Structure 1
Amino acid sequence: MTAAAPVVELKQITKRFPGIVANDSISLKLQKGEIHALLGENGAGKSTLMNIVFGLYQPDEGHIEINGQKVMIDSPNKAIELGIGMVHQHFKLVQPFTVTENIILGSEPKAGGRINYRKATAEIKELSERYGLQVNPNAKIHDISVGMQQRVEILKTLYRGADILIFDEPTAVLTPQEISELMDIMKRLVAEGKSIILITHKLKEIMQIADTVTIIRRGKVIDTLKKTETTPNELAEKMVGRSVSFKVDKKPAQPAEVVLQMDHVMSKNKEGISVLNDLNLQVRAGEILGIAGVDGNGQSELIESLTGLRHIDSGKITLLGKDITNQSPRHITESGVSHIPEDRHKHGLVLDFSMSENIVLETYYKQPYSKNGFLNYKAIDEQAARLIEQFDVRTPSIHTKARSLSGGNQQKAIIAREIDKNPDLLIAAQPTRGLDVGAIEFVQKQLIAQRDQGKAVILISFELDEILNVSDRIAVIYEGKIVGEVLPEETNDQELGLMMAGSTAKEGAKHE
């Protein structure tokens, strides 16, 4: 009896872009009912490969077989026809539309020339219950959480009859709770006979959920392994080509003078609801203060108030004793604050500018980059070349547009720019979101190096491991207020989780 053909087989897929071979003769098999992880650094070629499977790109060489038959996937519509669905890292949803309108977009059920919403809603409800997705078909996209939006993307593929699902970095924007819910959904999909390719660089998730893992590095397959026959350390080493330390090496902090002081800060949103609620905070030179909290508890508003992007209604913010309350972003930057923003595309880069232009976004008006109102491109390019080399930003050229770099390299460029300004206070918001282990290790070392040079660092992260590993002190934010402070060595993720949900720290763990 012959074994069943793989549901998807890639045979020697090669894809070139100007100046780079993104996929170099890659072969891969996905068996029915398995979760096959595709592991690699940022920019290793994972997403390019899956965009070929989904018909967004055409391979230059090689071919694809579905259930043993050679196929030509020349568009996403053809992929959908073949039972392939893709859940993209950046969701493709129309914000003002309802869940139902988004799911049926392009394949609307008609009755008498009109869209039959009742039929669609019933089908979506049935699919949602069957796979434990718990999505309200009538909710508007802009009113639901990121985790829910991702479920809508999953439903979109199921509604179109997908048996093969590709998940591209699906946990990059989820809270720990949403991640474990997504894992349950994936297990249920596979139990129902679906097959999944999971693009990720999170080793913990691979060990939790994958059956097989293929590692690619710089466009080439390094190895394919059964999960049961490998370890996170082996995978990390194969992925980045060297051994990676999961433990953050750092000396004890030497906190000195107070750099940032926030006293009784209050701020309301457009609807008049308090988003910062009598918030008090203090950060000293030579320490990393980690801010832990469930998404949506005032983290973004806290950053905005510190960087001049949000008006505060009352309270006071001082930097090295100087009042910076409600000052302009440029004034705050020039006072000695650097900011690695949580959304690198929205607030970190101008995607259609070159890398060298992005490097001087906040300093272009100063000498030597500008004189008498004219930009000095020679000085700008020299600065960009220096930082790109120093921070190992992998880009074909300093003149490459920012949008064509991988997320990890975009992030390294932002970090290079912000650290090079030599700030007194460095605000790092989700600095390792969507990065691979090698890049995470690099970023965390940079934050610790800043601390060791006597800078005050604020780290805001949803990754509790990162908060516990990198911070010297942890403040927990809940409903716009700091509800407690703990030391990382005296707490754990369970206790932090409880505080993040609003219960107070145990007595004795609170340090002034």
Structure 2
Amino acid sequence: QHFRLVSNLTVAENLALGHHDQGIRLDQKELAGAAAALGEKYDLAVDPTARIWQLSVGEQQRVEILKLLYRDAKILILDEPTAVLTPQEGQALFKTMRQLAGEGRSIIFVSHKLDEVKQVSDRVTVLRDGKTVGGVATKDADARELARMMVGRDLELPTREASGEPGEVMFQVSDVRVLSDRGLEAVRGVSLEVRSGEIVGIAGVSGNGQRELAQGLVGLRRLMGGKVDIDGEDVTGDTVLERIDKGLAYVPQSRLGMGLAPGLTTEENLALKAFRRPPYSRGRTLVASAFRDEGARQIQQYDIRGVRPGLPIRLLSGGNLQKALLAREVELEPKVLILRSPTRGLDVGATEAVRNQILAEGARGAAVLLISEDLDELMALADRLLVIFEGEIVGEMPTEEATSERLGLLMAGQRAQESA
């Protein structure tokens, strides 16, 4: 689930890295050809000459799978491999997995998506708290029973409920353009608006400008054109801190890479955006007891588990990392909340907690922009859906009119009028 790639090497070089048959000198042309051939054979296309840092999370996921295939591994362990794929791409991966199994390979498929487990596996084993709590042949498995085994109680993932009309426009984006790390235009004239109390979802295959769009909106990446307004105020030229002070909160896709400071404690991470304000500070002096007391309150309120005094936050589970990150953002009661794939890689229990918090922010009156590759999540939480492809919004619809098939076609580049 957490990639083991060298960011400044190319895709082809990462495939060769550590290979037992690889000599001292690399034949770049041969490597690139082998990578391209594997990608074509197993429907996992990625540019073999691109450097890892230039790739989206979804493309990096494909590189990890290609590494296994390049080594001709007989046992493959895939941890959440569909987290950044469209439904169609997920089905293509399942076809690849069946092809690999047919070639005599053994595959361990780790996932929290019960429908995928039932679709692709022969046998299911359920783990909870590091222990096996049960196993069953897939053909005899019941999704509700599997979920109960996973969390130890009956569980129903929350979904949005019908509500009244949303309020005034709180977040407006007009003709925004953003460059990628390669200097190419990754976001091409995106315009959207989110009203107070509304949750707007953006669907798309990873690598279609979502990262650049989110970073541009929150001030982490310079806009090459366009305008961003929060509550009627132009914040286009504002710094990240100025946007935070004006009510913008952000939950990035990378929890430890960007969202949290891995070497700091949970209490310190919870205070990272509020430490300039009381009760954390008096003038220029930080109040140590406030970090401890406020941290303890938030840890209890948001059910962040596994915290120990002095323990770096990086040692918490993915679900508790995400709870801490989301807690820090919503504690400031933001006007606008932007989230990228907030439940990626989480178990059903942690997913339930995160979804409830997102719905609560919408109910409180925040304008919520949810950017995700998980269509089930988007259709469960959003009031309205947009689809992004190659940096452009290619479709928009109320969630009630959306289907996985229709969204999948738009995500693959078919325009709205063609997929209707």
TM over 0.5: yes
1:477 CA displacement: 2.5
1:107 CA displacement: 4.0
1:131 CA displacement: 6.5
What residue is the counterpart of 2:350 in the other structure?
439
1:197 CA displacement: 2.0
1:353–1:127 CA distance, 2 compared to 1 (3 A) = same
Cα contact 2:202–2:388 (8 A) shared by 1 = yes
Listed as ranges, the gaps of 5+ residues in structure 2 are: none
* Structure number with higher strand proportion: 1
1:256 alignment partner, SS class: coil
1:199 CA displacement: 2.2
Q: Map Cα deviations across residues 19-45 of structure 1 (whole Å, 9 max, x no partner).
A: xxxxxxxxxxxxxxxxxxxxxxxxxxx
1:493–1:365 CA distance, 2 compared to 1 (3 A) = same
What residue is the counterpart of 1:229 in the other structure?
140
1:463 CA displacement: 0.9
Q: Using the alignment, how far apart are the partners of 1:302 and 1:414 within structure 2?
A: 20
1:474 CA displacement: 1.4
1:412 CA displacement: 0.6
Is 1:354 the counterpart of 2:265? The answer is: yes
Deviates more, 1:178-187 or 1:225-234: 178-187
Q: CA RMSD, aligned part only?
A: 3.0
Deviates more, 1:137-146 or 1:124-133: 124-133
What residue is the counterpart of 1:499 in the other structure?
410
Is 1:105 the counterpart of 2:17? The answer is: yes
Q: Using the alignment, how far apart are the partners of 1:447 and 1:404 within structure 2?
A: 25
Is 1:193 the counterpart of 2:104? The answer is: yes
Map 1:169-248 → 2, pairs under 5 A:
169-246=80-157, 248=159
Q: Using the alignment, how far apart are the partners of 1:129 and 1:446 within structure 2?
A: 39
Is 1:132 the counterpart of 2:46? The answer is: no
1:240 CA displacement: 0.6
1:149–1:276 CA distance, 2 compared to 1 (3 A) = closer
Amino acid at match of 2:276: Y
1:234–1:263 CA distance, 2 compared to 1 (3 A) = same
1:135 CA displacement: 6.1
1:102–1:253 CA distance, 2 compared to 1 (3 A) = same
1:237 CA displacement: 0.8
Cα contact 1:385–1:398 (8 A) shared by 2 = no
Q: Using the alignment, how far apart are the partners of 1:267 and 1:105 within structure 2?
A: 33
Cα contact 1:133–1:151 (8 A) shared by 2 = no
1:323–1:102 CA distance, 2 compared to 1 (3 A) = closer
1:376–1:326 CA distance, 2 compared to 1 (3 A) = same
Q: Which of structure 1's runs of 4+ aligned residues deviate more than 6 A? A: none
Q: Using the alignment, how far apart are the partners of 1:500 and 1:359 within structure 2?
A: 35
1:257 CA displacement: 1.3
1:460 CA displacement: 0.9
1:379 CA displacement: 0.4
Cα contact 1:258–1:320 (8 A) shared by 2 = yes
Q: Map Cα deviations across residues 36-84 of structure 1 (whole Å, 9 max, x no partner).
A: xxxxxxxxxxxxxxxxxxxxxxxxxxxxxxxxxxxxxxxxxxxxxxxxx
Q: Map Cα deviations across residues 294-328 of structure 1 (whole Å, 9 max, x no partner).
A: 22333222222221112223332211111111201
Q: Decide which structure has the larger Cα Rg and report it.
A: 1
> Aligned match of 1:395 in 285, 288, 306?
306
2:153 alignment partner, SS class: coil
What residue is the counterpart of 1:314 in the other structure?
225
Is 1:473 the counterpart of 2:368? The answer is: no
Could you say which structure has the greater relative contact order, defined with CA pairs below 8 angstroms and 6 or more residues apart?
Answer: 2
Map 1:369-408 → 2, pairs under 5 A:
369-397=280-308, 399-408=310-319
What residue is the counterpart of 2:372 in the other structure?
461
Is 1:92 the counterpart of 2:4? The answer is: yes
What residue is the counterpart of 1:165 in the other structure?
76
2:227 alignment partner, SS class: strand
1:164–1:463 CA distance, 2 compared to 1 (3 A) = same
1:136 CA displacement: 7.6
Q: Using the alignment, how far apart are the partners of 1:124 and 1:447 within structure 2?
A: 44
Q: Map Cα deviations across residues 432-477 of structure 1 (whole Å, 9 max, x no partner).
A: 1111112212211111111111221111111111111211111222
Q: Map Cα deviations across residues 230-251 of structure 1 (whole Å, 9 max, x no partner).
A: 1111101110111121461523
Q: Using the alignment, how far apart are the partners of 2:33 and 2:414 within structure 1?
A: 40
1:255–1:198 CA distance, 2 compared to 1 (3 A) = same
1:121 CA displacement: 4.8
Q: Using the alignment, how far apart are the partners of 2:16 and 2:181 within structure 1?
A: 33
> Aligned match of 1:326 in 226, 234, 237?
237
What residue is the counterpart of 1:254 in the other structure?
165
Is 1:276 the counterpart of 2:187? The answer is: yes
Cα contact 1:250–1:448 (8 A) shared by 2 = no
Amino acid at match of 2:280: Y
Q: Using the alignment, how far apart are the partners of 1:490 and 1:457 within structure 2?
A: 20
1:137 CA displacement: 9.6
1:383 CA displacement: 1.1
Map 1:273-312 → 2, pairs under 5 A:
273-312=184-223
Cα contact 2:56–2:207 (8 A) shared by 1 = no
Q: Map Cα deviations across residues 389-420 of structure 1 (whole Å, 9 max, x no partner).
A: 11111123253211111111100101111111
Q: Map Cα deviations across residues 142-192 of structure 1 (whole Å, 9 max, x no partner).
A: 366655544543454455553222222323344434332322222122112
Deviates more, 1:117-126 or 1:271-280: 117-126
Amino acid at match of 1:178: E
What residue is the counterpart of 1:363 in the other structure?
274
Cα contact 1:259–1:319 (8 A) shared by 2 = yes
1:167–1:371 CA distance, 2 compared to 1 (3 A) = same
Is 1:430 the counterpart of 2:359? The answer is: no
Q: Map Cα deviations across residues 198-242 of structure 1 (whole Å, 9 max, x no partner).
A: 222221221111111111212222111111111111101110111
Cα contact 1:288–1:471 (8 A) shared by 2 = yes
Amino acid at match of 1:337: L
Listed as ranges, the gaps of 5+ residues in structure 1 are: 1-88
Q: Using the alignment, how far apart are the partners of 2:80 and 2:375 within structure 1?
A: 19
Between Structure 1 and Structure 2, how many residues are aligned?
419
1:134 CA displacement: 5.8
Report sequence identity in percent: 42
Q: Using the alignment, how far apart are the partners of 2:338 and 2:295 within structure 1?
A: 22
Q: Using the alignment, how far apart are the partners of 2:133 and 2:354 within structure 1?
A: 25
Cα contact 1:308–1:328 (8 A) shared by 2 = yes
What residue is the counterpart of 1:80 in the other structure?
none
1:99–1:487 CA distance, 2 compared to 1 (3 A) = closer
Cα contact 2:84–2:205 (8 A) shared by 1 = no
Amino acid at match of 1:219: G
1:227–1:272 CA distance, 2 compared to 1 (3 A) = closer
Deviates more, 1:245-254 or 1:325-334: 245-254
Q: Using the alignment, how far apart are the partners of 1:491 and 1:275 within structure 2?
A: 26
1:290 alignment partner, SS class: strand
Q: Map Cα deviations across residues 110-149 of structure 1 (whole Å, 9 max, x no partner).
A: 78xx657499859957993896366689534436665554
Q: Using the alignment, how far apart are the partners of 2:390 and 2:26 within structure 1?
A: 41
2:156 alignment partner, SS class: coil
